[in-house]
Structure 1
């Protein structure tokens, strides 16, 4: 049997249509130990990569019928996952949240569906996603620090997240006070050092070979001018909704993370790479030092919390004692420019 890529994709598409819902409902643990949603995320990533390269390659002839099957198969996977999540008491709030897939309802117009069964399935999916496109609460990929955001609501009611947020904030306060004491002590040393040379005159000497012998006053002055202390950057935003959004990103249930990753990959199917100018929270100094131990997510994740600017402590993480007030060593974490990684939305036909 000539087992081509086309054959493999067809088998996947038939299995999704015929068996995916039953497989998701099966309570038996997988032999790999993975959650079924997590396994499905990997499955979808492989399928989408193969389908796009085969049905709609960057160069060469395309297969509009095959690409239409890919769209239907992808939406079927998203639909079954969403339906399963809405049926879980932990995530039933999703019933009130929007599913935002740009241009999706228009995309149905361009599908080439050769069979009656495909048409029926497409109509069902169209009605399902149209219904959820009108929900009032925001989708999982936008407005993540809104009071109505799913993550904020989940973090507010989840005992573990509430407790971990309290622990982080308690440690932040301990670290902040320690930094204030460190700065005050450094300023006390600076003041005493400057006081000790107040009445001294410069007695530096220059030799014929341009060698300078620094006097006690200038040496102490140079020492004082170079006194520095590391900045303290709070790892969490101050506003409750912002902090709750961050703790949800760190400790999001694997079912929601897997579903959201698949949704993001489908939306960005022709442009999967995010802007190279953005920076991940997980690479910042404050995150690595204070929040990484609270991050329960997998190493591989397609949707990440990012910022369009660098952390204050990324490069210049020290400031001089001589010209910086105590508050200047305490940097608040800003959230107004942080968002989830995404790409430019384009309609793909």
Structure 2
């Protein structure tokens, strides 16, 4: 039995009334024929997967730099975990999983090398030249920098996928205002929430695996104490299996609380369409009050004990030196840039062209470029 695009669109009628259905898409900037066997959001997802920017995520820092070991999360594995969490929540809520997945796959494409340190450094270097923010850079990649089609620049994605990136709320830049008005679709909100859930769980896992977090320290977080007690785990003597059980239970708890709380808020709001979700005064995707409090406590613990650990700060200092020196050298000596980047200098301006070049680098490529300039 074949399921052509028309049949797939009919099946979406079974989704929740507040889901964003593909038949209701606001379309693409450049009209083009649709696929016979894929919905518009499936087509977007596939385009994102094949981008150069997506492949580069494999060698971009999450918390630990790529050279720290093979077992720690990278920006790519973080993205895949966000996909898993967001699809789990979306399915339970009757949302559009294809749209949810497309947004999740693309939400971190704009991240530069060296994680949030790289973002902060580039933003500082670009003051007076438009600044730098990874959501805006993701949109720039998808609408301008990726060149794969003869008739237009970018990937020509649907409005809803681009909207999902533009309304993403970043926890690391609290002053940043979303690039679109409104709350975004519930699918986009679920991705945003899933991002926070995923990194809290996997950063805890990586912190324990690395030895930067001692198991005994976890007793300071009430939620971890409760989960350990339920599973009969001794936090003072938490082995490898115990760590995996604890992280799995944490992830399960947060996903369940997010699903139930979001469903409850949507019901109470009485939203009957994706447009009603966009114009609701508040975001509907959220944790329950108790889970939100527990999540904040866990994030505060990770901020103090992991993200500000001396070893992590030392690597951040190295990253800052690399990016600052590369930016200074390339802006002062543009002829050192690859020919493809040089060709964009007049159109983009030296600073923006250099910023795009640095933001697209992986950790190891940036380090190699630094070594070549400063042996």
Which structure has greater strand proportion?
Answer: 1
Superposed pair shares fold, TM > 0.5 = no
Give the TM-score of the pair, scaled to structure 2. Answer: 0.23
Structure-1-length-normalised TM-score: 0.24
Question: Rg bigger for which structure?
Answer: 1
More helix by share: 2
